[in-house]
Amino acid sequence: MKKIKSALISVYYKDGLDVLIHTLAKNNVTFYSTGGTQAFIEKLGFKVIPVEELTSYPSILGGRVKTLHPKVFGGILSRRDNADDIAQLKQYEIPEIDLVVVDLYPFEETVKNQNTLFEGELTSEIIEKIDIGGISLIRAAAKNFSDTVIVSQKSQYQTLADFLEQNNGSTSLEFRQNFAKEAFAVSSHYDTLIYSYFATQQPYENFKTSYMQADVLRYGENPHQQGFFYGNLNEVFDVLNGKQLSYNNLVDVDAAVHLMAEFSDTSFAILKHTNACGVASRPTLLNAWKAAYAADTISAFGGVLITNATLDLATAEEIDKLFFEVLIAPNFDEEALQLLKRKKNRILLKQKLFNFPNKQFKSLLNGVIAQDFDKKTETEADLKTVTKLAPTQKQIDDLLFANKIVKHLKSNTIVLVKNQQLLAMGCGQTSRVDALQQAILKAGVFNFDLKDAVMASDAFFPFPDCVEIADKAGISAVIHPGGSIKDQESIDYCDTHNMAMVLSGTRHFKH
């Protein structure tokens, strides 16, 4: 155990600091400090030695240089069991510093508050929130954990105070090493945030990401796997009801939020295992729900539900008849909320406005792959009619609707739509023909008439077999990206069978 006899304290956040100061003072600790923290300690009634008095230098360059001095870092980094170090401390009149309490300028908060991206020049306020002295003090004290305690975040104030109370003002090696570990987590996170800000509009030459908190999930995809979520869900949702989101819930919720972002009309979607089994747009939310549910009343059981409209009582009364895991909406009428909350395990999420990230990452083999998010949503202007028969406006609307859905299903995938309603889909198949046949089969199971329905494919047709199968099922119009060397064969089939075909020009694989 090592007794704390001196402390350098210089913090941005002072809430909760008073408890630690009183505990240190009770153990006769000598205080060194700067600026606002010095005034804070003196206001509590305790004597403070200003760092300027220790270094014989004032704070200079507008506060950019205050603690960067050998008399500060010598006292922190000196090895107490090294005779040469001790001799040099005496020679240069450097006091040992046993405790460093320092946090970092709020760079992350400043960037969020300014809501700005790097556009050639960083703002002065953001520049000044890049901490130099603080990060150096943290690294120095953490490096010398054998002799020095480093407190790098305000959440540790009480923890240290309690430990000192229980141990007569002393700390153990294990305690100091644990705080050093946390300090390096703070410093690496801080540097990652700064790098990420500078790299916002530049190629990703390095893969760097950092989260300072992890939610421990009940388990991963399966009960024998551990699961964690790194991030802050409070930025995305208000959790209004239900049990903790599971690993699989989170994966499905992510898929649901990205799918619903495609739609501006009043819409409802139902997802299972990240794939949409029901989607519809209607003038009223109740009708959107009924149409989405009708697409697959079997798969909807235990699904994740999402809408882009305020959840009203009439719709809630219908949804209440179904067992589901999660319901997401931008808002809930109070009566609807109270009705749905009667089942305590139902997860009800109120979605906030937030910005989707520009990059997505996936770990594989011994590394990570990264790509831009697929944010391309085709409009009528993107469509190229390649058949003699042009699609009607109603068909164009349905083709674009289908193309939004096909983008969010696992490849290979086919989507069948009519009247802004998903009739059926086939996804995750090893051939496009299998995906289409699966979709036609499902449509029949749920009694949908495919006459005048439209078909969307996430990638081109390598052969005309899919359009032939679709034609025989009653489908009248097709959208796909095009690009096959045999595109013309599919086009020719459509021309001889009175079908319309448009090319989007954009493939939407999802693996």
Residues 394-408 have pLDDT tens digits of 999 999 999 999 999
CB atoms within 10 A of CB 187: 20
pLDDT of residue 120: 45
pLDDT of residue 200: 65
Stretch 427-449: mean pLDDT, rounded?
96
How far apart are alpha carbons 243 and 347 in whole angstroms? 6
> How open is the CA angle 122-123-126, to the nearest 5 degrees?
90
Contact 220, 226 (CB under 8 A): yes
- 12: pLDDT strictly greater than 90: no
Catalytic residue among 14, 143, 258, 341: 143
Confidence of residue 196 (pLDDT cuts 50, 70, 90): confident
Confidence of residue 204 (pLDDT cuts 50, 70, 90): low
The architecture in CATH of the region 2-198 reads 3-Layer(aba) Sandwich (3.40)
pLDDT of residue 113: 65
- Which residue, 315, 311, 307, 308, is CA-closest to 334? 311
Q: Do domains 234-351 and 380-503 have the same CATH topology?
A: yes
Six token digits for residue 331: 């808002």
Between the ranges 70-79, 179-188, 384-393, where is the mean pLDDT highest?
384-393
Please confirm, yes or no, whether 404 is among the known catalytic residues: no
Catalytic residue among 3, 5, 14, 273: 273
CATH number at 380-503: 3.40.140.20
Q: What is the pTM of this model?
A: 0.81
pLDDT of residue 381: 97
- 306: pLDDT strictly greater than 60: yes
- For residue 61, the 8-state DSSP code is G
- Which residue, 45, 53, 153, 142, is CA-closest to 99? 142
Stretch 261-272: mean pLDDT, rounded?
97
- 7: pLDDT strictly greater than 60: yes
pLDDT of residue 130: 79
Q: For the chain, give every domain's residue range.
A: 2-198, 234-351, 380-503
Stretch 156-173: mean pLDDT, rounded?
92
pLDDT of residue 117: 47
CATH of 234-351, one of 3.40.50.150, 3.40.140.20, 1.20.140.10, 3.20.20.150: 3.40.140.20
> How open is the CA angle 281-286-289, to the nearest 5 degrees?
55
Collapsing DSSP to helix, strand or coil, 469 comes out as helix
**415 or 51: which carries more pLDDT confidence?**
415
> How open is the CA angle 267-268-269, to the nearest 5 degrees?
130
How far apart are alpha carbons 72 and 102 in whole angstroms? 13
Please confirm, yes or no, whether 22 is among the known catalytic residues: no
Collapsing DSSP to helix, strand or coil, 17 comes out as helix
If you write DSSP's letter for every residue of 172-197 in order, what string do you get? -HHHHHHHHHHHHHHHHHHHHHHHHH
pLDDT of residue 472: 97
Residues 95-132 have pLDDT tens digits of 999 999 998 867 666 666 665 544 445 567 777 777 78
- For residue 153, the 8-state DSSP code is S
Report how far apart, in Å, the C-alpha atoms of 54 and of each of 50, 64, 71 are. Answer: 7, 17, 7
How far apart are alpha carbons 389 and 404 in whole angstroms? 23
Six token digits for residue 391: 């699609």
